[in-house]
Amino acid sequence: MSKVGRNDPCPCGSGKKFKRCCLERVEAEQRAERLRAEAERAEGGLDEVDEFVETLEHARAVLEESQIVEQVDRLSEAVLRGIEAGRFDEADATARQLMAAFPDEPLGFERLAQVQEARGQPEAAAEEYRRGVALMDELGEGHYCDCCRARMVKAIRRLDPDRPAPALLRDPQ
C-alpha cells in the first residue's frame, strides 16, 4: 500500500482528510513501535521504557478518541438514513440517543434539527440549531470546526428570519 498523504482521504473511510482523522493515532502507533524496538535493544534504560509507556498511553487515548468519533459518525449517519427513508420517529430517537451518549457533541443538535426540518417544524429545528451553536460557543474554539458552526447559523437565519441569529464569526466557505 502506498503512503497516505496528510491531505489525502483517510483510509479508514470516514471521508475526512487523513490529517484530521487518523494521522495522530497512526503517528502515535509508529512512535510506540519505534520505542518498543529501542527498549528491546536497550539493556536497562528505564528512561526509554518510561517514554515508551507514556507514548503507549497516549496512543491508547488517541485510539479511544477515534472509537468515540466512529460511534458518533455511526449514529449521525443512521439519523440521516432515517430522514432520507422518511422514518422520522426512528431518526428522532437516534438523534436523541446521539445527544444522550455524547452531550458535548454539537452534531446531535444538528441532526435533531434536521429531523424537525424534515417533519416541517422550522421553529423547533431553529431552536435545536441554536442549542448546537450555544454548545459550540460554550466549548470554545478547537472543539468544532468553523464550517459546522457557520452551517448551523445559516440554517437558523433561513428557518427563523424574524429572530436574531447568533453571530456568524468565521465562515470558511
Task: Give every residue of the chain whose pLDDT is below 50, as ranges.
Answer: 1
Q: How much is the pLDDT for 83?
A: 96
The predicted pLDDT at position 49 comes to 66
pLDDT digits (tens, 9 = 90+) for 74-124: 999 999 999 999 999 999 999 999 999 989 889 999 999 999 999 999 999
Q: What is the pLDDT at residue 158?
A: 95
Angle at 129 between CA 128 and CA 135, to 5 degrees: 90
Q: What are phi and psi of 134, to 5 degrees?
A: -60, -40
Q: Is residue 95 a contact partner of residue 111, using CB atoms and an 8 Å limit?
A: yes
Contact 99, 112 (CB under 8 A): yes
Would you state the cell numbers that stand for residue 73, as one nine-digit string? 459518525
pTM: 0.64
pLDDT of residue 46: 61
- Residue 137 near residue 104, CB atoms below 8 Å: no
- 159 CB-near residues (< 8 Å, 6+ apart): 117, 122, 123, 125, 126, 129
CA distance 36 to 48: 9
Alpha-helical segments (H) within the chain: 23-41, 46-84, 88-101, 107-118, 122-139, 146-159
Q: Is the dihedral of CA 106, 99, 22, 62 positive or negative?
A: positive
pLDDT in the model for residue 108? 94
Grid cell for residue 170: 468565521
